Structure 1
Amino acid sequence: MPSISALYSIQEVSQHSSNDDCWIIIDGKVYDLTSYLDEHPGGDDVIVAATGRDATDDFEDAGHSKDARELMEKFYIGLLDTSSLDSLKLETNQVDGYATRVQTLTKQYWKAPVAVIGISVVLGWAYLRKK
């Protein structure tokens, strides 16, 4: 387990971006959320889509409670090292990676809404046909 006083570059954090190894940056702090994925009330997809990058905006936009913020401290592993110019360049590339992950999730979960709409149309048509 990494030291709590450790400094991590954005490059190091970006290497931990899977369901089996999930690090995230929020407000300049690095968190290892691997063990929390199954417990996250919003589902693991939300966290996995934001791994390996700065997810401060995503976290703030979700409107997390004070309790959620306190729980995060349990997963804190260190600080983001912002002294490297490479960190800004890699962070920009991570946004593209985030967009790719969102597109993948969108492609993966399109069937359920389409099925619901299809069933609704068929049932509506059958109902109107009986009248």
Structure 2
Amino acid sequence: MPTITKLYTMKEVAEHNSDDDCWIVVDGKVYDVTSYLDDHPGGADVLISATGKDATEEFEDAGHSKDARNQMKDYCIGELDPTPPIPEMEVFRKDDLLSSYFTSKTAKVWAIPAAVTVLGVSVVAAIIYARKK
């Protein structure tokens, strides 16, 4: 019977980011290395600096042996959920969009220069039109 693997989100992994509760991700697998901190040959600080995040690059850069990779199996608690999180959608009514535009800081900043420009163009057009008559 196949083993069911627990899936974790990166948000869940990030919550385990202390020396009392230390999770890391390496190659898409989630490891609880809390009990291994004192035994890590590179020192606990190396694992603590990688806790709560994807440490694949740091792990590969350190050049771990085949024995170290086999030993990791003892600390594997699941896999990183491969589905990307769906961003929350904001729902607006049409009149909300229009009113939010006119009340935004950007609209206020550009309102006066735009009005002056329109007035200036109108005056220039009126002068040119008057001269042609």
CA distance, structure 2, for counterparts of residue 4 and residue 68 of structure 1: 24
* Residue type at the aligned position of 1:57: E
Superposition pairs of residues 50-69 of structure 1, within 5 angstroms: 50-69=50-69
Give the superposition deviation at 1:48. Answer: 0.3
Larger radius of gyration: 2
Aligned residues, how many?
85
| Counterpart residue number, 2:7 | 7
Code of the aligned partner of 2:77: I
The offset of 1:23, in angstroms, is 0.3
Aligned sequence identity (%): 60
TM-score normalised to structure 1 length: 0.62
Equivalent position of 2:115 in the other structure: none
The equivalent of 2:33 in structure 1 is: 33
Query: RMSD of the alignment, in Å?
Result: 1.8
Structure with greater contact order relative to length (CA < 8 Å, sep ≥ 6): 1
The TM-score with structure 2 as length reference comes to 0.61
Q: Aligned partners of 1:65, 1:35: CA distance in 2, in Å?
A: 20
Once superposed, which parts of structure 1, at least 4 consecutive aligned residues long, lie more than 2 Å away? 84-87
Unaligned ranges ≥5, structure 1: 88-131
Structure 2 residue ranges without an equivalent (≥5): 88-133
For residues 47 and 23 of structure 2, the distance between their equivalents in structure 1, rounded to whole angstroms, comes to: 9
